[in-house]
Amino acid sequence: MFEYSATLIRIIDGDTFVADLDLGFKIHKIETVRLSGINTPESRTRNLEEKRHGLVAKKALGGLLTDARKLSVKVSEIGKFGRALGLVYADGLSVNFDLIDKGYAYPYSGERKLNYDEMIARYPAMQVIYEKIKKDEI
């Protein structure tokens, strides 16, 4: 596993972003980074409830990464879609675990992805966010 300092370029969705990775020796690479070990609701879907939750997760990821003074990525591998998979840290905070703890994501290790109703039913923290979204509190 390699760790790189990163500069945020843009957020794609709740578990993916584009960053400029500092590889050392003044070598940089623009890379799409997928947070490993988590999955968030989709922001590009026909299911409007899931889309709203996905956009809230995207905003949460953006807040964590945009506000960070120091951003780093521990890349474990390149995934099947060509993205760098890794653990992301914002000012030392594990972004991957923080998104799970706050209900924006659920643990994911490559198995079949849950549909939106399964996500909400299985993970209580996601249910809390879902209820806030329904009440327009987020």
Domain spans of the chain, in order of start: 2-134
Looking at the domain 2-134, which fold is it? OB fold (Dihydrolipoamide Acetyltransferase, E2P) (2.40.50)
Q: How sure is the predictor about 107, in pLDDT bands with cuts at 50, 70 and 90?
A: very high
State residue 115's pLDDT score: 92
CA 99/CA 86 separation, integer angstroms: 14
pTM of the shown model: 0.94
Position 130 pLDDT exceeds 90: yes
Residue 60 bridge partners (DSSP): none
Q: Which of 32, 126, 23, 6 is nearest to 85 (CA)?
A: 32
State residue 1's pLDDT score: 86
